[in-house]
Amino acid sequence: MKIIGRALALILAFGLVAGCGKAREGNMVDLVLVNGKVWTGDRERPWAEAVAVGGRAILAVGTTAEMRKLSPSAMKLVDLGGALVLPGFIDSHTHFLAGGFALKSIQLHDAKSREEFVARVAAKAREFVPGRWILDGNWDEEGFSPPELPRRDWIDAVTPDNPVCVSRVDLHTVLANTVALRLAGITRHTPAPPGGEIVKDPATGEPTGLLKDTAADLVFAKIPEPSFAEKLEAAEASLRHAAAHGVTSVHEMADAASFEVFQELARQGRLTTRLHVYIPITEVETLARLRVKSPFGGPYLKLAGLKGFVDGSLGSATAYFFEPYTDTPGTSGLLHGQMFPEGVMERRILEADRAGLQVAIHAIGDLANSLILDVFERAAAANGPRDRRWRVEHAQHLRPADIARFGRLEVVASVQPYHLIDDGRWAERKIGPERARTTYAFESLRRAGARLAFGSDWTVAPLDPVLGIYAATTRRTLDGEHPGGWTPEEKVSVEEAVRAYTVNGAWVEFAESSKGTIGPGKLADLVVLDRDIFAVPPEEIAGAKVVMTVFDGKILFRKDR
């Protein structure tokens, strides 16, 4: 990254800024929530009726009668009318800054046909001046009737003056039009970079416009960098979006450019979501040289550690498996470019471990997961015991033997429940029913002793923990074909799903002493839902709405019920 040095040079200043936010001393009450059903997350005392907040911290938790005694000095008293109160949701895997840009970009995810896809691209081209890039999109060919992968010749006629690079929903494949391919210098003779694929027409040898994983970097390199002001605007759009969904903390899988944006918002006191930011593992030497330990920062913004990739995604057929894909037997997937040259990922992880840095590694296919667990095991043996809290991001497709290794090695399974009700529509077509039995194996992982941290992977899936809880507890696929749940034995309870969005998310970021539960002294981050999701049938959870979000002791979002 060109700006990594500049961003990390700001870390010292950032530490001073992000460190501010100490809860006000004393017992002055600013906010009291009464007549609620409060799930505290404390296994010894899981339920209460009311919460009192002073400054940025929770002062007391108890009955409505007890908290009402504090109300004469309260600036605000809110009668919840029986609504459910939870600790603020922690989304453990997002692309948060990118999400802000996607909110105002072309929307292709719900396009149902080739014709609708093309019409939306054409409309955006008419809206834009010549030369402006059409980006994002989140298209999903599985939603087309019939399913088919898009090609550049679909959109070339409607985008003669605008380069196009629109992403598949999994962010591991893009569609580029001819203008974009020309700018990137991609022709039939262009070799694919390690960890990528330039999809070519089998009859003509010409690029179809589809670029997988690192091959997309050839086009990304030609896309103009947004201005800093545009990045700030996008970040603030993401913050508003998070507040509306009760998300008070996110783990951002980002880069130095994102970190610098959040650092500026923290400096200005404009962060309304706590950000735990991971930057690429390729920067391990820089962080090790600066002797930064995980996590570094304050209550609003932390440099969490390092994010790496082993493979791609199932939908793009770049997740890395032991056996070939069922529907495309010519491939078993791809190792990511960060795995080349051979051994470089292990060297980086060993260096990160020696430096005291947390690592979060993307692995989706069963072979990718097995490989990274091998690396984790060797690193721990080489460097000795310590509190690592290492993470595998996605951990989607696992061999039964590797499920047990997550628990034995104390590796966090950072998983995204919404993906399973999306992928479950077509995953068995790609990998067959046998491998699908241990896909998104949440309950098996939990029983094996692994800690589950739930997230969204926004913008790949909606930034809505309620939908994630629904997905994890019902496993009902989006097409309605599995009303009893896809691999129903892997459902988790509502409590475990909520815990994975709160208690576990805090633990993963070494913040269990300050958030994730509702208790005296904890940060006053709360979410209020319009119904008790512990009491309704799991199938009704998706209808629950956020009616209030409290962040840092203040009501950040409120919606009439």
What 157-160 contacts at long range (C-beta under 8 Å, 24+ apart), as own/partner pairs, is: 158/118, 158/121, 158/122, 158/125, 159/121, 159/122, 159/125, 159/134
Q: Do residues 10 and 260 lie in contact, with contact meaning Cβ atoms separated by under 8 Å?
A: yes
**Which backbone phi and psi does 147 adopt, to 5 degrees?**
-60, 130
- Which amino acid appears at position 13 of this protein? A
- Neighbouring residues of 123: CB distance < 8 A, sequence distance ≥ 6: none
Measuring CA to CA, which residue among 246, 262, 305, 312 is closest to residue 508?
305
Tell me the pLDDT of the chain (561 aa) as tens digits.
333 344 344 343 344 333 333 334 446 899 999 999 999 999 999 999 999 999 999 999 999 999 998 876 666 899 999 999 999 999 999 999 999 999 989 999 999 999 999 999 999 999 999 999 999 999 999 999 889 999 999 999 999 999 999 999 999 999 999 999 999 999 999 999 999 999 999 999 999 999 999 999 999 999 999 999 999 999 999 999 999 999 999 999 998 778 899 999 999 999 999 999 999 999 999 999 999 999 999 999 999 999 999 999 999 999 999 999 999 999 999 999 999 999 999 999 999 999 999 999 999 999 999 999 999 999 999 999 999 999 999 999 999 999 999 999 999 999 999 999 999 999 999 999 999 999 999 999 999 999 999 999 999 999 999 999 999 999 999 999 999 999 999 999 999 999 999 999 999 999 999 999 999 999 999 999 999 999 999 999 999 999 999 999 999 999 976
Q: What is the pTM of this model?
A: 0.91
CA torsion sign for 136, 141, 144, 150 is: positive
Given the structure tokens 């309605």, which residue do they identify?
480
Q: Can you say how many angstroms the Cα of residue 92 is from the centroid of all Cα atoms in its chain?
A: 6
pLDDT of residue 561: 66
Cα 350 from Cα 173, distance rounded (Å): 30
Interhelix angle 256-267/11-18, rounded to 10 degrees, is 40
Q: Cβ-count burial of 210 within 10 angstroms (0-12 exposed, 13-18 middle, 19+ buried)?
A: buried
Structure tokens at 324: 């070939």
Structure tokens at 361: 């590694």
Measuring CA to CA, which residue among 262, 299, 292, 287 is closest to residue 277?
262
Strands 546-551 and 526-529: antiparallel
pLDDT of residue 13: 39
Using only the alpha carbons of the chain, give its radius of gyration.
23
- Neighbouring residues of 368: CB distance < 8 A, sequence distance ≥ 6: 310, 311, 319, 320, 321, 333, 335
Give the H or E element holding residue 230: helix 228-244
- Which amino acid appears at position 181 of this protein? L
Q: Do residues 168 and 315 lie in contact, with contact meaning Cβ atoms separated by under 8 Å?
A: yes
pLDDT of residue 255: 84
Catalogue all structural domains in the chain, each as residue range(s) with its CATH number: 105-220 (3.10.310.70)
Give the H or E element holding residue 231: helix 228-244
- Which amino acid appears at position 133 of this protein? W
Measuring CA to CA, which residue among 128, 31, 35 is closest to residue 81?
35
Structure tokens at 278: 């991971």
pLDDT of residue 256: 78
pLDDT of residue 258: 86
Cα 59 from Cα 66, distance rounded (Å): 12
pLDDT of residue 242: 98
Measuring CA to CA, which residue among 527, 519, 516 is closest to residue 551?
527
How wide is the angle at C-alpha 497 spanned by C-alphas 493 and 500, nearest 5°? 140
Cα 405 from Cα 267, distance rounded (Å): 42
Measuring CA to CA, which residue among 169, 89, 173, 92 is closest to residue 456?
92
